[in-house]
Amino acid sequence: AMLQSKPPIAPPRLNSTTQDTLVLDALDVVLANEDRTGDLLAVSVDLSFASEQWKRTILVRTPTGPRLARRHFEVCVFAGLAATLKSGDVAVEGSDAYADYRQQLLPWTACEPQVLEYCHQVGLATSAAEFVQQLKSWLSETAARVDAGFSSNTDLAIADNGEPVLKRGPRRQPSASAEALEASLLERMPERNILDVLANVAQWTGWPRHFGPLSGSEPKLADPVQRYILTVFAYGCNLGPTQAARHMQALATAHELSFTNRRHVSVAQLEAAIKDLVNAYHRCDLPKVWGSGSSAAADGTKYELAENSLLAEYSIRYGGYGGIAYHHVADSYIALFSHFIPCGVWEAIYILEGLLKNASDIQPTTVHADTQGQSTPVFGLSHLLGIRLMPRIRNWKDLRFFRPSKDTRYRHIDALFSDTVDWVLIETHWPDLLQVVLSIKAGTISSTQLLRRLGSYSRRNRLYQAFRELGRVVRTVFLLEYLNDAQLREHITATTNKVEAYNGFAKWLNFGGEGVIDTLDPVEQEKHLKYNHLVANAAAIQNVIDLTRAVRLLQADGYIIQRDDLAQLSPYQTRRLKRFGDYTLSLSSPEPFDPELLMPFALDEQADVVVA
């Protein structure tokens, strides 16, 4: 039989999202000469999109006139095309990641009726002129206040070259009384294995009810609750079905665990179970000593992946191949949301998505991060979403401060400012900014997808420039507050330390397989992170319950517990958790839950102690 030839695959269509088509015009020249083998091209191309270094490399003088170095020209064009795709200046028809984001925005006719209500909800002015005046007053008043308090700010100095110098604050160490309290509590906490922890928390919260066949039918398992607990343990601790089954004393086979993971558990179901755990944790009173839940911190940590995984990249920052687990952790220590992302991306594009997708009872309005968790577009978008971005920036000295106007001068801090805000740009694009925010709220476009477009510099994308200019205002205000307020700096450091502590706790529970996630399926990699998140939150709940019982036992013995000492504890206790050995599980006699454990501690405000 004769083989039928397949029709050639049509190349994707590229469209410019701006009036500038220079890169696409140059690409047409490259494609028109793709069969040429000579080193030089005698064609005329507008190279305005290229840098001066590229122009000097590409243009070659010959006796017959200037020519293009073909190979260098091709590299320059494809480098420019990659940059325009990242910034959104060029879109690919039919693509997901590189589609024209403007087509996913709500039309302004649908946004305009929502503007008044939304602006009142998040505290924004309701017109472009009032919005700019609100920002200008905010920046002016903050700068004037910091300048007036400069003399009393003993932590801040400005060198002769204008560089700010911030004195490092004292490092807080746990007090002797806090260490003694922790030792006393640990003596009264029972030793538990992780399977028992999952079973107890399942009894208290009912999180296994979210699992079941993806078709929606009833699970046809002999004991579905037990099977789901065993599956979460096997994958959440990275043992895998084979190794877990070897130590479970015939509770389940490797095939049964693998089948349950593939047919009964999805990412959405895991997120629903995690939500139950977050809500149960929030009902406990002890976490309120650690934080109110009004703020959260976001940070990433690298997990090892097989080198042939599509998501695996070599990370210069962390060293080695892997992917990044990006967690959002509340100031009360509970993890709210997790992403699994490649190593090469700027983490800031995911910082808002975790808060927007968080559906639990804990709804932070302030988010902290490190240097990777911020950029000027992220500052601008977070402000419009009503979220305060307050990161710990490593290279803050290198960032520019923007003054309200060219004529504004300050007595003490004037050397900090190097440029002026373009208020006209913000006012002109105020409707475009609100259209983006309302589209994110409506779910027609995700903040991650938008920030991926706005994460690369674009001299043509006016929306990028407007978000960047707004972000310059917001970041300047934040930096001024950061330099002026020692308590703010201490709070940011303490909260970001909590997410770093969670990263260590989650990895401690991810003890199987030497910590390497060996699956090559991106969906299974994401599920692995959610499994680990579920196990970590369950362990945190169990530790909170056991700590609460131990506190009440100490109180019954007449032990006076100071609130400051209690605040130095955390639910990431590992000394009473067992990871290794043969695993047994019995659901016939679950540990009862005492409702009194949720009763608030009585606080003596004068003595600031916890009393019975």
| C-alpha–C-alpha distance, residues 88 and 70, integer Å | 27
Tell me if 336 sits within 8 A of 329, measured CB to CB. yes
| C-alpha–C-alpha distance, residues 199 and 178, integer Å | 31
Tell me if 376 sits within 8 A of 475, measured CB to CB. yes
Residues whose CB falls within 8 Å of the CB of residue 120, separated by 6 or more in sequence, listed in order: 126
Residues whose CB falls within 8 Å of the CB of residue 234, separated by 6 or more in sequence, listed in order: 240, 241, 243, 244, 245, 257, 261
- Compute, in degrees rounded to 10, the torsion defined by CA atoms 458, 460, 461, 462: 120
Q: How many CB atoms lie within 10 A of CB 529?
A: 25
Tell me if 231 sits within 8 A of 202, measured CB to CB. no
Q: Which tokens sit at 491?
A: 């709070």
Q: Tell me the per-residue pLDDT of 106-145, one tens digit each, with 9 for 90 and over.
A: 898 999 999 999 999 999 999 999 999 999 999 999 999 9
Q: Which tokens sit at 177?
A: 């009384």
Name the β-bridge partners of 341: 324
Note the pLDDT of residue 603: 43
Tell me if 532 sits within 8 A of 301, measured CB to CB. no
Name the β-bridge partners of 602: 611
Q: Which tokens sit at 254?
A: 């490797």
Q: Where do runs of H (alpha helix) occur along 237-337? A: 240-246, 254-264, 267-283, 287-290
Task: Please report where in the chains the tokens 């589209």 appear, as a residue.
Answer: 439
| C-alpha–C-alpha distance, residues 470 and 451, integer Å | 14
| C-alpha–C-alpha distance, residues 286 and 573, integer Å | 14
Q: Tell me the per-residue pLDDT of 45-104, one tens digit each, with 9 for 90 and over.
A: 888 888 899 999 999 988 888 889 999 999 999 999 988 887 778 888 877 778 777 788
Q: Are strands 192-193 and 577-578 parallel, antiparallel or unpaired?
A: parallel
Q: Where do runs of H (alpha helix) occur along 10-126? A: 22-32, 52-58, 70-87, 108-111, 115-122
Tell me if 167 sits within 8 A of 517, measured CB to CB. no
Backbone angles phi, psi at 604, to 5 degrees: -90, 105
How far is CA 81 from each of CA 51, 77, 104, 521, rounded to the nearest angstrom?
A: 14, 6, 22, 29
- Compute, in degrees rounded to 10, the torsion defined by CA atoms 272, 330, 186, 535: 30
Helix (H) or strand (E) holding 305: strand 295-305
**Residues written for the chain:** 612
With a cut of 50, list the residues of the chain below it in pLDDT. Answer: 1-3, 602-612
> Considering just the CA atoms, what is the radius of gyration of the chain in Å?
28
Name the β-bridge partners of 342: 323
Which has the closest alpha carbon to 283: 24, 520, 598? 598
Q: What is the pTM for the complete model shown?
A: 0.83
